[in-house]
């Protein structure tokens, strides 16, 4: 069934209020349009937004999306490809049935209510599946919202309102900046690779690989991964491999074991952007007092040793030794995500088994750095 629609607001409200999941891809978004969509949804609806910045999308709407990411079942990406982003798609799913609206209407009050717009509504299953596949393909090419991007975008947005003729030029600049933001500088990268290759050739390399695999298996058993139904908090904290955790938060975790279980499920959900998972664990609704980056990253590496590493004092010292520099103004989750990208590249280049094995060598290097600093401090005191 296909219908011509000249005003979307009423139809969108009707379809979205019962939706289990929605997908919205628009070239332009403002607060009024976003509120209309969000107010139409039931609480447990899963939301997917792909937003363009070639047109002057409202920074207030982007900030609201950023904040909602940390507390809701929300997936948001910004389109940053070189091509001008101009689609208007509103797709919903209720049980097994889809409804799609495609046409000229952006997600603004004008686009949904007052402008002269033209859209088609379809419930044809194959067409809707094709639209969903298109969305997911383009969504994967987008970039997550970041605090640094939002701060800079606000200043540029004010200027864009006065200089509409230069919108395209500024949009291209914003996209380049956002892409640069996710790159880390590694001053002594070659030296780091050289050191890791020497470790790779050592006699105990195979033993380390085997020990790491055994440790991950034991850690998984301790938290009943991936079911998380029978979590043994004491056992988990006794396993020092992949980050020695202090036991201070144990009583809190035991008291809030249901919340801890939800936290583990969220952290291991790869459908959610990594930085968002990380930040949500630190400051979102699943935050538990005493749980920091060490425990969060330990859970991540237990979940997938190819994609995550343990973030603690030792690994940080090791990376600092070889001059890793991360962009300023990023959240902890964004920094962790960027570091992961660098470490995965290095792991592949050195043929290190996975990031769990690489983490062992980060610990060794970090421990050496700690000893050297301690000896230096002792020497200074004696003088």
Both 139 and 192 in a single domain? Answer: no
Task: Provide the pLDDT for residue 158.
Answer: 80
> Are 201 and 171 contained in the same domain?
no
Provide the pLDDT for residue 382. 44
Give pTM, 2 decimals: 0.59
The residue from 138, 156, 181 where one domain ends is 181
The CA angle 251-257-259, to the nearest 5 degrees, is 120
**Torsion sign over Cα 337, 338, 339, 345:** positive
Clarify whether residues 157 and 202 are in a common domain. no
CA distances from 268 to 29, 84, 236, 276 (A): 31, 34, 17, 12
Q: Do residues 195 and 145 share a domain?
A: no
Q: What's the pLDDT at 181?
A: 61
Number of structural domains, the chain?
2
Q: Is 292 found in the same domain as 202?
A: yes
Same domain, 48 and 150: yes
Same domain, 65 and 119: yes
> Which parts of the chain sit beneath pLDDT 70?
163-169, 178-183, 372-383
Supply the pLDDT for residue 250. Answer: 95
pLDDT of residue 100: 95
Specify whether 14 is located in the same domain as 152.
yes
**Are both 273 and 314 inside the same structural domain?**
yes
Report the CATH number that the domain containing residue 150 is assigned in CATH: 3.30.870.10
- Among 118, 151, 181, where does a domain finish? 181
- Whether 101 and 250 map to the same domain: the answer is no
181, 213, 247: which is the final residue of a domain? 181
Domain co-membership, 93 together with 225: no
For residue 377, give both structure tokens.
């401090």
pLDDT single digits (tens) 120-135? 999 999 999 999 999 9
The Cα–Cα gap between 103 and 112 comes to: 11
Q: What single string gives the DSSP state of each residue in 106-154?
A: -BSHIIIIIS---EEEE--HHHHHHHHHHHHHHHHHSB---HHHHHHHH
**Domain that residue 234 falls in:** 185-382
Tell the residue number behind the tokens 């914003």, with chain if given. 174
Distance CA 191, CA 322 (A): 7
Task: Classify residue 67 by its DSSP letter.
Answer: H
Residues 6+ apart with CB under 8 A from 152: 174, 177
């Amino acid at each position: 069934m296909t219908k011509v629609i000249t005003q979307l607001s009423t139809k969108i409200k009707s379809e979205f209020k019962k939706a289990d999941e929605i997908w919205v891809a628009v070239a332009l978004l403002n607060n009024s349009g976003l509120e209309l969509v969000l107010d139409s949804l039931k609480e447990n609806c899963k939301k997917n937004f792909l937003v363009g910045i070639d047109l002057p999308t409202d920074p207030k709407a982007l900030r609201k999306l950023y904040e909602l990411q940390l507390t809701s079942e929300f997936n948001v990406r910004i389109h940053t490809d070189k091509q001008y982003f101009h689609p208007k798609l509103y797709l919903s799913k209720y049980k097994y049935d889809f409804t799609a609206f495609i046409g000229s209407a952006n997600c603004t009050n004008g686009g949904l209510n007052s402008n002269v717009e033209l859209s088609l509504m379809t419930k044809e299953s194959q067409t809707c599946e094709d639209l969903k596949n298109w969305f997911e393909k383009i969504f994967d090419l987008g970039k997550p919202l970041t605090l640094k991007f939002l701060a800079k975008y606000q200043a540029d947005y004010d200027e864009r309102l006065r200089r509409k003729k230069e919108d395209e030029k500024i949009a291209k600049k914003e996209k380049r900046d956002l892409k640069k933001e996710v790159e880390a500088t590694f001053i002594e990268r070659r030296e780091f690779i050289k050191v890791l290759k020497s470790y790779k050739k050592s006699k105990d390399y195979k033993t380390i690989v085997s020990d790491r695999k055994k440790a991950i298996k034991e850690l998984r058993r301790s938290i009943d991964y991936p079911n998380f139904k029978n979590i043994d908090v004491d056992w988990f904290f006794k396993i020092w491999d992949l980050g020695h955790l202090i036991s201070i938060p144990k009583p809190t975790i035991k008291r809030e074991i249901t919340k801890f279980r939800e936290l583990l499920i969220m952290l291991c959900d790869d459908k959610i952007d990594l930085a968002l998972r990380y930040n949500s664990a630190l400051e979102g609704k699943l935050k538990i007092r005493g749980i920091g980056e060490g425990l969060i990253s330990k859970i991540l590496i237990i979940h997938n040793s190819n994609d995550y590493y343990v973030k603690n004092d030792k690994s940080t010292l090791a990376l600092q030794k070889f001059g890793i520099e991360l962009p300023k103004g990023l959240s902890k989750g964004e920094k962790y995500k960027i570091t992961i990208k660098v470490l995965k590249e290095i792991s592949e280049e050195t043929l290190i088994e996975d990031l769990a094995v690489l983490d062992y060598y980060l610990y060794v290097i970090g421990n050496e750095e700690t000893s050297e600093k301690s000896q230096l401090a002792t020497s200074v005191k004696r003088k």
